[in-house]
Amino acid sequence: MSGRLVSALVVVSLMLVFSAQVALAQMSDTPNLSINGFGTVGVVHSDEDQADFASNILVPKGAGYTRDWSAEVDSRLGLQLTANLTPRLSSVVQVISEQRYDGTYKPEVEWANVKFDVTPDLSVRVGRMVQSTFMSSEYRKVGYATPWVRPPLEVYRMMPVTNFDGVDVSHRSRFGEFTHTLRGTYGKADARYQGGGTAEARKAMGLSSTLEWGATTLFASYGQYRLTIEELNPFFDYFRLYGPEGEAIADRYDIDDKRFDVISLGARYDPGDWFVMGEWARSDSRSLTGDLRGWHVTSGYRMGAVTPYVTVARASVSSNLSDPGLSVGEWWPPAAELNEVLNHLLETSARQNSLSLGARWDFARNMALTAQYDHIDIDSGSQGILINHQSGFEPGGTVNLFSLALDFVF
């Protein structure tokens, strides 16, 4: 789906919302338009002063080196307009302001789509929609809807882009006490990251399945896409100067139309007074990022308005952390330096364990205050999920975080 078509869909969605507003004015007894919002005002402290902790790996700064206490990690504001134009046709536009790749808070369109209900249980959407990679993807940016200050990054960092442009089809079926939702998607997604580069995912297709009965939810998804990060090409072009040996290394590690496969499994049991949930995900690719693995388990107990919880999580890489590289010779650029950079990139991939202790206080209607402590144990040689590394940063070690977030919906 081209950028022009996506822009056109956004315009169409806005026009549909405007049309619904006109209809609402003409038929005041029919609620055709709804406006909702959500937000988080949060602060995070990190005891690591040579790198930053951020909730999104695409942004340039966070808590730690940039600021001891940062309000940029979790704070955001979102506004959503939903227009029900006919019993079968509706449109949604969602705009969010949060830290972007360039450090600004310019609002961006998160969703902008048109939905048509073919039957009460079969629907088709076209435009910009949410990714369905993980169990909490639909509301991962709505802090009020999740038990944590932020979803565990050991899993959710694998897909930092939360939306895509394209089409999706969703079918819901019921049998006895069971409800099953099957969703298929196809489209593209672009992500700008710190420094101004762009990661382009094309031919992105996905299939997710959600099974619900009583207090139990089971989730599974599979996604596949072709990823290109052009800013990495010059580095691997140096390898190609060395002939077949360099060509083989470049083809193995470059990210130029490389296929990525992502699998996610999740389960949740929530009878009311307490809950337990967990997710496991893997991302496989024949590229510099390697084969990523991640999981988390969270459990909490509701005591009136207060819900204490604990989360354990792990991020790892199942692919090689080093490569022999080029045969060292008298060539320019020096083969030894290229090998050193390549192995540094492979070794410093995110590998860490984390333990999170938190408590949520629902002190008012549609408002909650959550405090969370994270102890992160980074594997030797790894940079973990930290960003903005400074010259004094040493891979490995531990990081302690304290987060406080006020979440609200309206």
Is 95 contained in some domain? no
pLDDT for res 334: 86
Whether pTM > 0.85 for this model: the answer is yes
Q: Residue 55: which of 65, 42, 67 has the closest Cα?
A: 42
CA distance 194 to 317: 23
52 within 8 A of 66, measured Cβ to Cβ: yes
Q: Residue 333: is the preceding peptide bond cis (ω within 30°)?
A: yes
Question: H or E element: which one contains 127?
Answer: strand 122-130
State pLDDT tens for residues 146-190: 999 999 999 999 998 999 999 999 999 999 999 999 999 999 999
Q: Residue 44: which of 24, 67, 10 has the closest Cα?
A: 67
Is 34 contained in some domain? no
Q: How open is the CA angle 219-290-342, to the nearest 5 degrees?
A: 160
Per-residue DSSP letters for 268-284?
Answer: EE--SSEEEEEEEEEEE
CA distance 193 to 310: 31
Q: Which two tokens stand for residue 184?
A: 């298929």
Name the β-bridge partners of 409: 38
pLDDT for res 312: 98
Q: Which two tokens stand for residue 154?
A: 């050991």
What are the backbone dihedrals phi and psi of residue 260, each rounded to the nearest 5 degrees, phi first?
A: -120, 135
Is 19 contained in some domain? no
153: three-class secondary structure by DSSP: helix
Per-residue DSSP letters for 156-222?
Answer: HTT----EEEEEEEEEEEEETTEEEEEEEEEEEEEEE-TTS-EEEEEEEEEEEEEEEETTEEEEEEE
Read off the CATH number of the domain in which 266 is found.
2.40.160
What single letter denotes the amino acid at residue 326? Answer: L
- In the chain, the number of structural domains is 1
Is 17 contained in some domain? no
CA distance 154 to 312: 10
What are the backbone dihedrals phi and psi of residue 44, each rounded to the nearest 5 degrees, phi first?
A: -135, 135
Is 53 contained in some domain? yes
Q: Which two tokens stand for residue 200?
A: 């382009």
Is 192 contained in some domain? yes
CA distance 101 to 51: 17
Q: How far is CA 117 from CA 91, 126, 294, in A?
A: 11, 12, 36
State pLDDT tens for residues 201-250: 999 999 999 999 999 999 999 999 999 999 999 999 999 999 999 999 99
pLDDT for res 233: 93
Which residues make Cβ contacts (< 8 Å) with residue 410, sequence separation at least 6? 36, 37, 38, 366
β-bridge pairing 367-378 and 397-409: antiparallel
CA distance 315 to 242: 35
237 within 8 A of 250, measured Cβ to Cβ: yes
Burial per residue of 235-274, b for 16 or more beta-carbon CB atoms within 10 angstroms, e otherwise: bbebbbebeeebeebbeebbbeebebebebbbbbebeeee
Is 229 contained in some domain? yes
Q: Which two tokens stand for residue 63?
A: 């808590």
Q: Which two tokens stand for residue 356?
A: 């999170």
What is the pLDDT tens value at each position of the chain, 410 positions in all?
444 443 444 444 444 444 444 444 444 446 589 999 999 999 999 999 999 999 999 999 999 999 999 999 999 999 999 999 999 999 999 999 999 999 999 999 999 999 999 999 999 999 999 999 999 999 999 999 999 999 999 999 999 899 999 999 999 999 999 999 999 999 999 999 887 789 999 999 999 999 999 999 999 999 999 999 999 999 999 999 999 999 999 999 999 999 999 999 999 999 999 999 999 999 999 999 999 999 999 999 999 999 999 999 999 999 889 999 998 766 656 888 999 999 999 998 999 999 999 999 999 999 999 999 999 999 999 999 999 999 999 999 999 999 999 999 99
Is 93 contained in some domain? no
Range of the domain at 210: 40-76+121-409
